[in-house]
Amino acid sequence: MESVSRFFFLLPLVLSVSLISNPCEAQGDDLIHKICAQTKSNDLCIATLRSEAKNSNPDIKSLAAISIQNLISTANRTSDKIAKMLNTTTDPSIQKCLSDCSKAYTDALDQLDGGLAALDTNSYSDINKAVFAAKDAVQLCAAGFSSDPDHAFMLRSRNNLFSELCTNAVTIVHQLAGSTA
């Protein structure tokens, strides 16, 4: 009888503890919200960081790394899309724009690889320079298409997304630099 009464006494306690979320996960989510509140694209920032940091208890530096890695992934996906478009188009003006964009994204990827390496050495100004250079390269792609009104839409959403992600990454790196000062 005593063991049965202990069971009923402990059952609510065990159930309530099991329903409480992981405190490390909550701390990570709180940090993500705090960091992303400073960005211009808050929802995009939260979605980006939360999707990659879901199984860890991130600090600001790991969130900065996630944001740069996400930029690299986005640039790679866009480069792949451009390559496919280049293989299917026969219009010389579109081919020229796509070729220029391909070079722009290759340059952006080179810059971002350098930015990720700079994160390892806490060279925050080098990270910002790399991300701004990547953003500038992609803006050249956008400018090439904007001069052709019939095809300006072709990579607009991808270029805009990349630009927003760059702005978020710079904001996160700025917060990281401020947290270590």
Give the 3-state DSSP-derived string for 99-166, with helices as H, strands as E and coil as C: HHHHHHHHHHHHHHHHHHHHHHCCCHHHHHHHHHHHHHHHHHHHHHHHCCCCCCCCCHHHHHHHHHHH
In a domain, 139, yes or no: yes
Q: Is residue 140 part of a domain?
A: yes
Q: How many helices (H) and strands (E) does the chain have?
A: 7, 0
Report the domain count for the chain: 1
Residue 132 lies in a domain: yes
Structure confidence at residue 15 (pLDDT): 34
The per-residue pLDDT for 1 is 53
pLDDT at 9 (0 to 100): 40
Q: What is the pLDDT of residue 179?
A: 79
Mean pLDDT of the chain: 84
Q: Is residue 29 part of a domain?
A: yes
Domain CATH for 141: 1.20.140.40
**Alpha carbon 9 to chain centroid distance?**
47
On whether residue 1 sits in a domain, the answer given is: no
**Full domain range(s) for residue 39:** 23-179
Q: Is residue 13 part of a domain?
A: no
3-state secondary structure of 37: coil
Q: Assign 126 a pLDDT band (cuts: 50, 70, 90).
A: very high
Q: Is residue 10 part of a domain?
A: no
- For a pLDDT cut of 70, what percent of the chain falls above it? 82
Q: Which residue type sits at 51?
A: S
pLDDT band at 27 (very low <50, low <70, confident <90, very high): low
User: In whole angstroms, what is the distance from residue 122 CA to residue 71 CA?
Assistant: 19
Assigned domain for 104 exists: yes
Q: Is the pLDDT of residue 17 over 60?
A: no
pLDDT band at 54 (very low <50, low <70, confident <90, very high): low
pLDDT at 16: 34
